[in-house]
């Protein structure tokens, strides 16, 4: 090698003769006579193997599907928490607000509260023993004519008039 040929090529990073650099850029014949367009050397960039790419894709997709499953479960749980079941306590609160009861059966619906499919019934009667204004009310809550809940409560109404005699026990 002459000193002129070992000068640095402007595109090369390391100190390599220009003739070697040019030989790497153009196809050349191997000792078997086949055309080789890639000549491995320290100047060629390193690449990932197919196995490394497949493992990286597997890790990426596993992580992606795990995150999607987590988001899906979170949304399902949030939707379940948002769905409010109606209970008979709503009707009991309406009865206790007025504190005025009549013996017999009353009914209505819960459209005003945003539950159009729900209907309620109350059966109000004085207990045989207690004639001091303590009244038992049986609340039945229905959704599309199917009983959802039944709840008996006791309500105090000092002005309640029963159809039973007002004498008490033994009179």
Q: Tens digits of per-residue pLDDT, 16-65?
A: 555 555 555 556 566 666 665 555 555 556 789 999 999 999 999 999 99
Domain extent at residue 62: 47-83
- 13 domain residue, yes or no: yes
Contact 132, 160 (CB under 8 A): no
Q: Are residues 143 and 102 in the same domain?
A: yes
Q: Are residues 100 and 113 in the same domain?
A: yes
- 34 domain residue, yes or no: yes
The number of domains in the chain is 3
Of the candidate ranges 6-10, 14-18, 28-32, 148-152, the one whose mean pLDDT is the lowest: 6-10
Q: Are residues 77 and 107 in the same domain?
A: no
Q: What is the pTM of this model?
A: 0.47
In the block, which residue shows the tokens 């309500």?
Answer: 155
Q: Are residues 18 and 72 in the same domain?
A: no
Q: In sequence order, what are the residues at sequence separation of 6 or more whose Cβ sits closer than 8 angstroms to the Cβ of residue 59?
A: none
Q: Which one-letter DSSP state was computed for residue 142?
A: E
Q: Are residues 51 and 32 in the same domain?
A: no
Q: Is 51 helix (H, G, I), strand (E, B) or coil?
A: helix
């Amino acid at each position: 090698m002459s000193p002129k040929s070992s000068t640095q090529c402007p595109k090369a990073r390391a100190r390599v003769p220009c003739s070697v650099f040019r030989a790497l850029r153009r196809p050349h014949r191997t000792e078997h006579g086949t055309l080789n367009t890639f000549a491995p050397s320290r100047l060629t960039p390193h690449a990932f193997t197919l196995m490394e790419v497949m493992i990286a894709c597997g890790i990426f997709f596993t992580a992606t599907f795990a995150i999607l499953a987590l988001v899906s479960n979170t949304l399902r749980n949030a939707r379940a928490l948002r769905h409010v079941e109606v209970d008979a306590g709503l009707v009991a609160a309406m009865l206790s607000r007025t504190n005025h009861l009549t013996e017999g059966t009353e009914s209505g619906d819960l459209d005003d509260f945003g539950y159009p499919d729900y209907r309620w019934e109350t059966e109000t009667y004085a207990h045989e023993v207690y004639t001091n204004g303590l009244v038992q009310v049986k609340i039945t809550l229905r959704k599309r004519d199917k009983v959802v809940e039944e709840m008996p409560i006791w309500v105090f109404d000092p002005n309640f008039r029963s159809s039973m005699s007002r004498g008490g026990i033994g009179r």
